Structure 1
């Protein structure tokens, strides 16, 4: 697994514009290239990034050309693809999976005139590398609230991809907010060790359902968990990364939607007008990068209202999903009453909060 994080350095530079990498003048036309970890038809993560690429074309017309490569494994294969894009006239290359971080930086050092944007990473080892991410944990707070209210067995399940901070944030946020509205709720985590593997994801969902879980959340890229949930009456789930509305009104009762289009439009627009600078973005509900999909009629009206109120409070900045008092899994204090987790703490999160069963794989 190539997507492991160096936790001690994960917190560096989040949300900051960095000096020294501006442009002297704009470009008449931009070739924007995308490296995808899954197929554009995965219905989730890669599908949504590709929708953002298509938004570029809709926004700028013949001022932008896009190219992309699907299903690129993390590691050496990605470095080869990124290099080919840099050599093929791409002005900007978006690498859209965490495991592309080191390959992106390695290639960028050899192509200083090309801009590189890495999704969900933190390393910017050359002045032509920027990073961007979304605060997925905000959306998972909303999903957790619905999950806690909707479960009848008091058992919710979570299908994780890899044990990195981004995923652990989501597990913790989901559990914290399910627990807030249902003190009896428990959460079980199954690791797929893949971003996109429909067979593994379906198997994980089936295993959870066999344990009595009736609400399934996921941080994997396919629609397979929803398809598996649909086989058992009373089991619900949520769209992940994209709306997955084909499974509405149930088992998909809502969704977290990653809305990358505005970011891609902004960054390519800055190349066109000459204002592009190296940066590190981490945006969420407040800026529309994380959207909450329609909450269907399968959810009681009062639960829908509660979830929407939470969404709006997060968006307004009046509530943070990681607000104390919160303890770590072993009972040691983490956040005091009213204390809010720092971005650095979240970016390096390597622990479960109190009440989550099981160990984080090493």
Structure 2
């Protein structure tokens, strides 16, 4: 009898272990905008969907959208950690400090923070070299502008956004030396009204190409309605302005999200920093508008290939700042460390850089 009881107990324990082994990995996502923004948050959600497609019932994903940066973010992240999530992706720069605070309280949870620079034993950081895409779009803009005036709608004056403005300006001026880039800051990642107003204000100032580092397709729509060119942000925005849309810088997080989820599933996750570009597939370009001359398309494709091979770098000297002072000598390349802290404009950018 005693042996039967022990066998029964062992069977129960084995059954419990089987159930526990089958429990899915709970993966949470925190988005700064709505998943329907057709830009930044939309692309992160495509990465979440890629996890589901890859791992099926091995994962259980959750997302919270339109989370303001600050105290609300900390509350949302903590709620995900408290509710049993094993891996949490926080997908905006302003989520950095909230993520670190929550991570300290939940050391058993793995956190991944997008575009930040502070890590912890259970916090990794990741970003894409978006500026590589700005180089190619800047070349196209430099060729397509007739007025020589290019508009740029910025979200917040942080290094990530400043790098993009500078990369686009350097590229545009490499094909049109007199090109000027006018910047309007909207102090928001996603605000279609402000973004549309900024685009219209730039067009009223004579701009005929609109670039953006904001998340909605409103600037593309404004460009379409006013008969100027535009470059989409984060995802392909061609459907919002078929005539205006020259191309778009696409952020593709799918492979990264799959790899990091797999690392947790396999017990191989560790805190690290990732900064990928064209070569890793994190940065891609949408199809080119048929209105772009063939020779310009070829030049854009060659620039992309040269960046991938290492032959070209977006920030290779000579580079001058707004005051005309040489800050990068010919043949030299700005280090990653300096790119990550970039707080100055290159020659050709109009206006002063706001200070945080």
Answer whether TM exceeds 0.5 for this pair: yes
Higher relative contact order (CA 8 A, sep 6+): 1
Q: Which structure 1 residue ranges, 5 or more long, are not aligned?
A: 1-25
Across the aligned residues of Structure 1 and Structure 2, the Cα RMSD in angstroms comes to: 1.2
Shift of 1:183: 1.3
1:244 shift after superposition: 1.1
Structure 2 SS opposite 1:73:
coil
More helix by share: 2
Aligned to 1:50: 45
How far residue 178 of structure 1 moved from its aligned partner, in angstroms, is: 0.3
Q: 1 CA distance for matches of 2:49 and 2:171?
A: 35
Residues 248 and 306 of structure 1, relative CA distance in 2, 3 Å threshold: farther
Moved over 6 A (4+): none
CA distance in 1 between counterparts of 2:72 and 2:293 reads: 47
Alignment pair present for 1:78 and 2:73: yes
Q: Does 1:309 align with 2:302?
A: yes
- Give me the TM-score of the superposition, normalised by structure 1: 0.91
Flag the 1:111–1:303 CA change in 2: closer, same or farther, 3 A.
same
Q: Name the residue aligned to 2:64.
A: 69
* CA deviation profile, 1:247-301 (whole Å, cap 9, x unmatched): 3542111010000011000000111112111110000011110001111201111
* Contact kept in structure 1, 2:22 and 2:58, CA below 8 Å: no
**2:111 and 2:124 in contact (8 A); partners too:** yes
Match of 1:238 among 231, 247, 252: 231
Secondary structure at 1:255's aligned position in 2? strand
Moved more, 311-320 or 152-161: 311-320
**Distance across 1 between alignment mates of 2:22 and 2:266:** 7
Partner of 1:173: 167
Q: Is the 8 A contact 1:37 1:71 kept in 2?
A: yes
Shift in Å, 1:333: 2.3
Structure-2 residue corresponding to 1:31: 26
The number of residue pairs the alignment matches comes to: 335
Is 1:293–2:286 an aligned residue pair? yes
Corresponding residue SS for 2:350: coil
1:280 aligned residue: 273
1:89-132 deviation line (CA, Å, top 9, x unaligned): 100110000000000000000000000110000011x3101100
The separation in 1 between residues aligned to 2:110 and 2:291, in whole angstroms, is: 45
Unaligned runs of 5+ in 2: 1-20
User: How many angstroms apart in 2 are the aligned matches of 1:264 and 1:338?
Assistant: 36
1:354: Cα distance to partner? 1.8
Q: 1:86 to 1:335 in 2, by over 3 A?
A: same
Q: CA deviation at 1:315?
A: 1.4
- In the other structure, the counterpart of 2:261 is 268
- State the partner residue of 2:205: 211
1:110-129 map, 5 Å: 110-124=105-119, 126-129=120-123
**Cα drift, residue 27 of structure 1:** 9.1
Q: Are 1:143 and 2:137 counterparts? A: yes
